[in-house]
Structures are given as C-alpha cells and as structure tokens.
Structure 1
Amino acid sequence: TNAFGMGIDKSNVRFVIHAQIPKDVESYYQEAGRAGRDGLPSEAILLFKPQDLQVQRFFIDQSEGDDEHKQRQYEKLKMMERYANTDQCLQQFILNYFGQSGTKPCGRCSNCLDDRESVDVTVDAQKVLSCVVRLHERFGKGVVAQVLAGAHNQRVLSFHLDQLSTYGLMSSRRQRDITTFIDFLAAGGYLETRGGQYPTLGLTAKGAEVLRGQAQVFQKTAQKAEQHLEVDDTVFQELRSTRRQLAEQQHLPPYMIFSDKTLKAIGSAMPQSLDELMAVKGVGQAKLDKYGQIFFGCPAGD
C-alpha cells in the first residue's frame, strides 16, 4: 500500500502489505495503522529489496529542499532501513523511534515470534568492521561485500583493494549474503551509513567495541536441516485442531499460538509433564503459562 493522502475508511482491514519500503517510519506507521482499526489483531507485512532504497534516495536527491532538509530525509530513510533489517521487537522499535523508551517486547511481531537460536557471529562481524576501517570508510556496502568475498571486478582491482588484508576473508559466503549481514550490522548500530544518494559505511562507537573484542554480536540464523520428526498424524491433527479453536476464540492467527514446527516437536516429544513440554523448542515460559494446560491435555500429553 501507499497512502497517497487518500485514506481508507474501513475499520476491518486485516492485512496491509507494503510492496516496497516507505520513505520514513512516520509514513509506514500511518499506512500500516490502517489495519485493525476495529481493535482486532491484524497483520502488516513489509516487502522490500535494496533497489527500493536507491529509488527513495533518488527522490530525496531530486527534491527541491535545501541540503539540510535533504539530510534530514536521508536520516529518516536510514531509520526506515534499520527497521526493515532489525531483529529487535518491531513494535518496540517504532515506539522507541517516537520517543517512548523503556517499552517491553510485544511478543506478537515476526521478530518476537522468531524461535531460531541466536548464534555468536562476533568473528564475522569483526571481519566486516575491520574491512570498513581498512577502506578508510570511503566506500558503500557493495564494495565492502565485494572485497570480503574476494571479487575480481574492475573497481576492486583498479583501487588495488585486492591488496587489503581483509580481501577474501569471507570468500566462503555468497556476496549477497555478506551484504545482508552488513545490513544486519547497520540495523544493530555497529555500522552507520553516511552521505546521500550513494552512502558510505562508517564504524560506530558500538562497532568499535566489537572490533576491540570488548563486545559480542549475536544473530538469529537459519538452522540446518534437522532430522525428520516422526509424528503420528492423528496426534498432529489433534494438536492443530486445538490450536485452531484457540485461535478462533482469541481472534489470533494460528501461528501466533504455536507454529506447525512446534506442534510437530510436541507430538514427537510426547511430553509427560509440563516441565517436559517447556523443554520443547518453541514453547517458552510465556506460552507454557498461556497454553500449557490446554496442550498438555491433548493426545501428545496423555
């Protein structure tokens, strides 16, 4: 959706989907806020690709405002980019942006519901941060990723960047994955973008601490394929039925109660106590308190 100032006079909008990144958090907040005006749970989904940012920077650069106004718009776009890449609670991010500090994670957004494990990525972060420093903070994330990947293109070779000690340090990873990791570091405040339409990367004080070994960096990463869980289909369907009934009663999407993956884990583990149910990956204390007794009464807990 894009607002275009028209407004949508409906209270029961259940989904708002952005097919590209808005120019600032204020616009996103207003547009996403069109969902759920009747007070019932709704979903706002943001889809974007790096080219969207370049388009927005072009619009800012071509606007009629003075340099100070353009710089403010670049800063707003930078915060929107951070929102799109952060692993922080999304509601908490927005509230903090508008000055409401001290808020707790909402427990409902896609980041809060992400049950992947956080892994220590400090070493990889140090490689990226070191590369930015050795490039004297004069290049953007594209060149940084090329250097780390060990690219042999004309730009890298013409600037003799293949002579840097960080050249090829992450050659085992795809260049686009390195770029995504750089976005993650920027969203976490370890790096910052500087400049206008063609921003360069710079090290922040937070990033400098990591580079000196005084702080660690953790990231939720995609898990390797796990061994197939043997789950009785009758048990799984009973668990899904219980979840569906709860979702209807609470006006929630089913996945916000438990994902299919978690239901399969429950069915495979066949917990004999609430403590054993708590040990199932994807349950957690909050969901155990809310739904533990209900799901423990299903066949998986009998």
Structure 2
Amino acid sequence: MQETPLQILQHTFGYDSFREPQESIIDCLCNDGDALVIMPTGGGKSLCYQIPALARPGVGVVISPLIALMEDQVSALRELGVNAGYLNSTQDWETTRETENAIRNGEIDLVYIAPERLIQERTIALLQQSPIALFAIDEAHCVAQWGHDFRADYLKLNILHELFPQIPRAALTATADERTRADIIERLQLSEAQQFISGFDRPNIQYRIQQKNKPRTQLLQFLRSEQQGNVGIVYCLSRKKVDDTAEWLTQQGFNALPYHAGMSGSNRQHNQTRFLREDNIIIVATIAFGMGIDKPDVRFVVHLDLPKSVEAYYQETGRAGRDREPATALLLYGLEDIVKLRQMMAGSEGNETFKRHEQQRLNAMLGLCEITTCRRQVLLRYFGDELAEPCGNCDNCIDAPDTWNASEAVQMALSCVYRSGQRFGAGQLIDILRGADTEKIRQFRHNQLSTYGIGSKLSISEWRTIFRQLIALGLLGVDSEGYGTLQLTEACRPILRGQDTIFLRREKATQKAAPARKRVLDIAEEDMGLWNALRQCRKELAEEHGVPPYVIFHDATLKEMLEKRPLNDYEMLCLSGIGDRKLEQFGEAFIEVIQEFEYQE
C-alpha cells in the first residue's frame, strides 16, 4: 500500500510535521496540478517535490543545473533509503545504461538530470517510454534572461509541457522578483500553475554592509573576532582576486580553498568536496560557486566586491544559515566597485533594453548599500514582501548611521566635475578639491580652477565617500569607455543651483561590530565530551559512507541527542531528522556513544 505524504515525511525523512506551505504544494502535485514555488533557501523546497515523487507511481525527474552536486544529492537520498540516481556526463556507459533501464522499468524513485542532458532526443525518447511521476525544475530562475544565473538550456524546458501535458510540473527557486516570476511562468508555460510564494525573510542572517577601508584588514578582523573555526564563503569578482585571497587567508592560518571557472574541473570538484565534507573550511570563490549547495552550517558569507543585483546578493547570502541558526552576511564595497560595474554594464553587448534593466538592478543594489534605515525591510520590499517593524538584526538597526547636510560639499564636488571638463575620475577631482600639488594637477593647470583647494577641510576618505554616494544616487554618471571619468547627470541641476538640500551618510571612523558570536550551538562545558564524541561518530560514519557529515545527521539532530540522550530505538525515532532507515543504519552507533557517557557519569 502506497504511503501518504505525511507517513513519508515521518518515516523516511524523520520529521513530525510539514512547514507552511509544504503540505499544500505536495497536495497540488499529488493531485496532478502544476506549481510555481518561491521559497527562501533552507525553507524545505526539496521535500516539496521529493515527497510527491515518492507518493505517486512512477519516477520523479528533477532538472538540476549543477552536475557537480548531483552525486551528493543522490547520496543523501540513498542514505534515507530512497532509490535515487542521476544521468550526467560523468557516468560510464554501463552505469548510464543501468540507470536508463531502471527509469524505463519504474524501478527508481527519483532521477536527477541536467537541463542540457534532458533536452537531448535520446533522453526525451527514454522519458516517453517510462512511467513519470512528476517533473521538478530546480533553480527555475535560470530561465529568466534578466536574471543573474541565466542558463540558455532552461529556455527549452517548455517541451515538458508540450510532450508530457498530463505530468505535473513544479518550478522551484529561492530568488525571483516579479519580472523573473513572470518570465518563469511564460517560458515554462505554467500559466495554469498554482503559485506558492513564501516570505523571503531569513531572520537568522545578520546583514552588514561597510565601506571598504583596507578590506583585508576588515576581513581578518571579522574572521578572528567572530568566526574562528566556522565554515564560510568569501565571494570575489575576479578569478585572480579569488586565488590571491585564498592564498593570503591560508598564510593567516585559515583553511581556505579557491573555486572559480578557470580551475580544472577536478580541482574545483576536489575543493567543493572538501568544503562540503570537512569542518573549518573557508571557500573563496567567484559566483560560479554556490548554486544548489546544501551545506547547512555555513556561518558567514562575505562579499569583497559589490554584487551586480539584489537578486545575486540575496541568493549568495542565502547560502549562510540554512540550519536556521545565526549567520552573518558581510559586504565590503567602495567607489571603485561602483565605477567598475557601471563601466561593465555600459560596455556590455546587450541591447539597450537589457542594459537599462541591468542598470536598474545595480541601482537597487546601490540603494540597499546606501540606505540609512533597516536593510531587511528594503531587501524584502524589493521582492514584494513587507516587514512591519525594523528587524533589529542588521547593521543599521544595531548601530544607526549618522547623516549630515552635505549640500555645500556636494555643490563643490559637482562644480569641480563641471569646471574640469567632465573628463577626470574621482582621484584627480579629489586632488583638485584638496589643493594637491601633483604633476597631473600642473599638467592640466587644474591649480588655476576656481574649485582648486576649496575642499581642503575634508579628508581623501571623506571625499571618496561623497563621490561614491553621488554615483550611487545617480547625481554623477560614469563614462562607458573604461576610463572611469565622472560626468554630471540631469538630476544634479537642482543641487548645483542650491534649490535642493542633500543629506548623505557619514562613514564612521570605526564600525561598531555586532556582538561577537562564538560557535552557534552553545554547548555547556560539562557536555563537550559527549558532543565531540557524537561528532566524531558522525564523521567516521560519513567517511565510511562517502558522504558529507550533515547527510548522516544535522548539528540540530546531534544537539537533540545531547539534550535528550536517547538509549533505545523508540527514543531515537522521537528525534527530529531520524527516520526508519537512518535509525536502522546509524541508531545503534550513536546509542552506544551515549550509553558509554551515561555509564561514565
């Protein structure tokens, strides 16, 4: 007799009850409906298609964009007793043939396939000969050409609707604004699908955005004062910066590994595997890293460069704290980031509509950086979500920023841009304003300008902060030729004429850090012996089974063991995250560890 979704949740996955809106999504798919699911990272999206795939007759087909992660996803399911497999280019011919036969005969519960593999004629023919339970399109935002993770192969997935009109489909993602949702619906032909849009809030993540001021020093202080021994991700814009930062962090005593598209596939896979399976690893990466990462105990995400959009920022910071324990997202950005991204967008090969949308996305990201009110409220509003009260867990809530009437200084800056011919970058303009005596000042006779030296009371750092905010606010533009020259925009006229007052953020000499966080799962001193023994037991079992430790049990499950100290199978089954198969495989080993400590005590 087929198990109900609730029985599958309890016996296979080891959880007592569904979270909202998992049950409604599962009911929709079990009753032949299509579903568009927007749910934050860590919200339990995968259960929304895994459970109906197990509850319905046939094979659940999951379209997943990352071959590198399929093996771990499948291994995790197999540890639960689910008959799962994948089809991708890493398999030998014999394994591929066995998997295809299992699909054709309905002998497999779930199969993961990359989109480029799925759209091949051979795969389509295989699926047409097979009993299919459902199609799940994971990371569905990849279909949106306006998005930050666009994948051309996703555009062809509308064939699922055309060739398999009776099979339910679920499109799932954590990141989609209104335009991206509309794109997903149109391109995947999901106009009849029920939409399940959960709140975007991740209250356990603390958002912090700081001006770059010796970024390596800032990073080092953050890691040593708050994140010693924790797992995290550091994002950089360029491959060279990834390599340099990883090498430097290693020299500082951290276990840091690089990850970017310029590395060989085997090196990338090796570093990703170490990150997933070891403690205390910091991965330094370009945005090539992260989609589909299931590691629950990532305690921090640091951006050393400005993301191109709020979607990218939300997606990347969302890789922290999937276990719902406190995590930190730190972004360091400066004037050079804005100039570089503005130039990249102006010089891109996209059409004018594409450039305009990209510019709007960058402007929204800059707005989030420069805002002086609650960051979480602004972030959620971008995705159409509302937070009634300030969150109390972002830097602006913890330490309210200072603002000042910068009208006079802004007029000086704008006048300087105008009088120097709108042909120079921020560095030269600051030298003019401060009255510097340099060869370049003398060469262009900038010491004869009326704005020469009028801003000497402000430091170089203060002027850089002003110029950064003027670009972010759209009062200054950046040339598209790659020289970084600043130019006046139409929006600056009222300020130049003295008709408008402008308040800017004042950067503080020292940023007030949030209270330092030790390890998230606070363990009493007298329990540390048992805690370490449970972790060691988990590590040995993970190595034996060739999976990351969290696939055996999450930290939250180990902590519940520590608190409740189960000594038999029934007590073990009462813990969250332990189903029948995991009890059978691992229960005895952990009970023995607990019994030994109980006996000693």
TM-score, with length taken from structure 2:
0.32
> CA distance change for structure 1 residues 131 and 93 in 2, over 3 Å: closer, same or farther?
farther
Q: How many angstroms does 1:122 deviate by?
A: 1.6
Q: How many angstroms does 1:32 deviate by?
A: 0.9
Structure 1: gaps spanning 5 or more residues: 226-239, 249-302
The 8 Å contact of residues 23 and 56 in structure 1, kept in 2 or not, is answered as yes
2:476 to 163, 184, 191: 191
Q: How many angstroms does 1:9 deviate by?
A: 0.6
Counterpart CA distance in 2 for 1:58 and 1:67 is: 15
The 8 Å contact of residues 426 and 485 in structure 2, kept in 1 or not, is answered as yes
Q: How many angstroms does 1:136 deviate by?
A: 3.5
Instruction: Give the match for residue 4 of structure 1.
Output: 288
1:44 aligns with 2:348: no
Instruction: Give the match for residue 298 of structure 1.
Output: none
Instruction: Give the match for residue 499 of structure 2.
Output: 214
Q: How many angstroms does 1:170 deviate by?
A: 0.8
The 8 Å contact of residues 137 and 203 in structure 1, kept in 2 or not, is answered as yes
Instruction: Give the match for residue 34 of structure 1.
Output: 319
> CA distance change for structure 1 residues 185 and 85 in 2, over 3 Å: closer, same or farther?
same
Counterpart secondary structure, 1:15: strand
> CA distance change for structure 1 residues 137 and 94 in 2, over 3 Å: closer, same or farther?
farther
Counterpart secondary structure, 1:184: helix
1:158 aligns with 2:454: no
2:415 to 130, 139, 142: 130
Q: How many angstroms does 1:177 deviate by?
A: 2.5
The 8 Å contact of residues 91 and 109 in structure 1, kept in 2 or not, is answered as yes
What residue identity is the alignment partner of 1:165?
A: S
Residue correspondence of structure 1 range 76-95 to structure 2 within 5 A: 80=365, 83-87=368-372, 89-95=374-380
1:144 to 429, 438, 453: 429
Q: How many angstroms does 1:121 deviate by?
A: 1.8
1:200 to 467, 485, 496: 485
Measured against aligned partners, the alpha-carbon deviations of 1:158-213 in whole angstroms (never above 9, x if no partner) come to 22222211111111222233122211222233333332422332333443222222
Counterpart CA distance in 2 for 1:190 and 1:142 is: 18
Structure 2: gaps spanning 5 or more residues: 1-233, 236-286, 522-601
Counterpart secondary structure, 1:138: coil
Counterpart secondary structure, 2:398: coil
Query: Going by fraction, where is strand more abundant, 1 or 2?
Result: 2
- RMSD of aligned C-alpha atoms? 4.0
Instruction: Give the match for residue 277 of structure 1.
Output: none
Q: How many angstroms does 1:31 deviate by?
A: 0.7
> CA distance change for structure 1 residues 44 and 141 in 2, over 3 Å: closer, same or farther?
same
Counterpart CA distance in 1 for 2:421 and 2:412 is: 14
The 8 Å contact of residues 54 and 197 in structure 1, kept in 2 or not, is answered as no
1:170 aligns with 2:455: yes
Counterpart CA distance in 1 for 2:481 and 2:351 is: 10
Percentage identity across paired residues of the two chains: 37
The 8 Å contact of residues 60 and 70 in structure 1, kept in 2 or not, is answered as no
Counterpart CA distance in 1 for 2:446 and 2:358 is: 28
The 8 Å contact of residues 122 and 216 in structure 1, kept in 2 or not, is answered as yes
Counterpart CA distance in 2 for 1:60 and 1:215 is: 30
TM-score, with length taken from structure 1:
0.59
> CA distance change for structure 1 residues 90 and 202 in 2, over 3 Å: closer, same or farther?
farther
